[in-house]
Amino acid sequence: MILVDMFTMAAVGAGMFFFLAGTVGLLRFPDTLSRLHALTKADNLGFGFIVLGLLPQSPDVLSGLKLVVVWLLVQLAAATAGQLIAQFVGLERRRDPAA
């Protein structure tokens, strides 16, 4: 039991670290595309580690399954949103090179 809890703490802690990294990147990086990169990292790794850490704590199989589905959906959303935002930035640059 203790071992499981320690695993959870470690994994959630790691997830928090990546969220921290993502937020810092979002705030500190100089241009939009590198900020986007940092954000995707937070979504992928941060969320992944938190789900990984919570999995052993889930009370029943359905909840565990839902956790995995949530993670998969976040991956998909992050990938798509990243692409779309990058495209959006590209379009914006082309239209208005000064920006």
Partner 1 sequence: MTLLPDLALVLLILTAAVWTVAVRDRRDAVIGFIVVGLLLSLAWVRLNAVDVALTEAAIGGGATGLLLLRACARLVPRPAESVLPHPAMWILTGLLCSVIAAGLAAIVVMPVEPPATLAPEAAANMGELGLGNPVTVVLLAYRALDTLLEKVVLVLALIGVWTLTPEQFWGGAPASLRAQQSSGALRLLAQVLPPVGVVIGVYLVWNGADHPGGTFQGGTVLAAMWLLVMMADLREPPEIRLHTLRLLVILGPVVFLVAGFAGFWIANGFLSYPPAFAKPIIVIVEAALALSIAVILGMLVAGPAARAPR
Partner 2 sequence: MIDFLYGAAALLLLLTGLGLARMMWGPAPADRMMAAQLLGTGGGAIALLIATASGITAIIDIALVLALLAAFAAVALTLGEPGTKQPDGQANP
Residues that bind partner 1 (CB under 8 A): 69, 73, 76-77, 79-80, 83-84, 87, 91
Per CB under 8 A, contacts with partner 2 among 62-81 are 62-63, 66-67, 69-71, 73-74, 76-78, 80-81
Q: Helix axis angle, 47-54 relative to 2-28, nearest 10°?
A: 170
Q: Which residue has the tokens 């495209």?
A: 87
DSSP at 7? H
Task: Answer for the pair 45, 15: CB distance below 8 angstroms, yes or no.
Answer: yes
Decide if residue 10 touches partner 2 (CB under 8 A).
Answer: no
CB neighbour list of residue 68: distance below 8 Å, 6 or more residues apart: 51, 55
Residues at the contact surface with partner 2, assessed by CB under 8 A: 5, 8-9, 12-13, 15-16, 19-20, 22-23, 26-27, 32, 35-36, 39, 42-43, 46-47, 50-51, 54, 57-60, 62-63, 66-67, 69-71, 73-74, 76-78, 80-81, 84-85, 87-89, 91-92, 94-96, 99
